[in-house]
Structure 1
Amino acid sequence: MQRNKIRSSKKILVLGPVKAGKSSISNYLGEAVDVESLGEYRATKGVRIVEFESHEVDIDGSRVEIDVELWDCSGDLKYRDCWPAIKEGVHGVILVANPDENEGTDLDIWYTNFIAKSSVQIENVLVVLNEMGEKRTNDGVISEFKLPVPLSSAVCVACNLRHEGENLKMEFNQFLMYIIERDRARADSF
């Protein structure tokens, strides 16, 4: 039996405070870096785009190939004048925080400016609590991390790329599938 093949393109913003690990996560998901080369901090200037083709995903018997653009945005607020252009045509948002350094309230500015003031639904938001360094995910720090109320229904995952990167890739693929399914359902309703 021949299955339908669908090609889709998705723009995903990667946002959060300075030094939360947004670039490491973007590079890792885009397979532009391996875990062993993670570590040295280099500030992102404005935005950089990591493009890749996701692994083929099967949705309702159709093979979906997804061209992904991860827009790795600087956490430095001096680039806020660029935010209106960055928000154009976005399909989803990944909010990144380092639970050892950040609090849930550190995500408020990103929620307010990129989700509340856009057409992005909370279902198209993935929160990544990115623990860095050699240790494995610290359950105590994760359980103490409180998301702001508007983000409480967003999918939230904890990871340490050095030890649990593959789990993040699986969560990300699931996140992409939800976005595609919602887009298809929305298109079918018109």
Structure 2
Amino acid sequence: ISAMQKVKVILIGPKQCGKSILTNYLVDSSLEQPSGNYIPTRGCRIVEHEGVFNIHNKQAKVEIELWDASGDPKYENCWPAIQYGANGAILVFNPNQISHENEIEHLYSNFIKEADLGERNCLLVGIKNSPADDLSAGFRMPQLMENIICHTVSFSEEGNSKIRNEFHNFIENILRDMSERTEMEEARIINIKLD
């Protein structure tokens, strides 16, 4: 296993869409059904998590910082500090709330685009109120985000381990992207020195 790497992932989304519940669920493998008690996040909450991931067929220990950002617009002045140094973003929304369409488009433009993260380093997670909710009626994904992988989850149902697997794959994609960027930068530096 290679040296410990660090990854910073921001979780953003409208107020009360389930960012903190998702954060807790992703880092605590013993958590089967997260608590549904709503406690608003003030500004940002940072949760650290360690794991072993596969990068180019090599095992790497990774420290993940999950920056659980408040969805309250009164904290928008904190956004530059939250997005600084981010390697990826998880955009969380409630697909049962039609108003979230415009809100996630605004957040995508102001977080993902501003931080230049790219679609590959972005994950959309729709947290349904219940497993029976019909998502075909009403909610439409903004066109700006059509190419981003989107998953829906309901914490009131069993078998949500799929979202943990998708999170693991997402982190591995970020790590591969970070590795490729480092290799490109090293090649650029070598080429400059050779010229």
In structure 2, which of residues 171, 178, 183 is the aligned counterpart of residue 176 of structure 1? 171
Partners of 2:63 and 2:170 lie apart in 1 by: 14
Superposition TM-score, scaled by structure 1 size:
0.88
What residue number does 2:18 align with? Answer: 21
In structure 1, which of residues 125, 130, 145 is the aligned counterpart of residue 127 of structure 2? 130
What residue number does 1:118 align with? Answer: 115
Superposition TM-score, scaled by structure 2 size:
0.86
What residue number does 2:152 align with? Answer: 158
What residue number does 2:55 align with? Answer: 59
Superposed CA deviations along residues 101-134 of structure 1, whole A, max 9, x for unmatched, are: 24422201211111122221111100001113xx
C-alpha displacement at 1:7, in angstroms?
A: 2.4
Q: Would you say the 8 A contact 2:21–2:34 is kept in 1?
A: no
Structure 1 stretch displaced more, 81-90 or 157-166: 157-166
- The alignment of Structure 1 onto Structure 2 pairs a total of residues equal to 183
Q: State the structure with more CA Rg.
A: 2
C-alpha displacement at 1:170, in angstroms?
A: 0.3
2:66 is the alignment partner of 1:87: no
**Structure 2 counterpart SS, 1:42:** coil
Q: Would you say the 8 A contact 1:6–1:62 is kept in 2?
A: no
Partners of 2:136 and 2:167 lie apart in 1 by: 19
Superposed CA deviations along residues 128-170 of structure 1, whole A, max 9, x for unmatched, are: 01113xx3263x3157532212211111111113424211100
* Deviant stretches of 4+, over 4 Å: none
Q: Would you say the 8 A contact 1:46–1:73 is kept in 2?
A: yes
Amino acid across the alignment from 1:182: D
C-alpha displacement at 1:37, in angstroms?
A: 4.5
Unaligned runs of 5+ in 1: none
Unaligned runs of 5+ in 2: 186-195
**Considering only aligned residues, what root-mean-square deviation do their CA atoms show, in Å?**
1.9
Partners of 1:168 and 1:180 lie apart in 2 by: 18
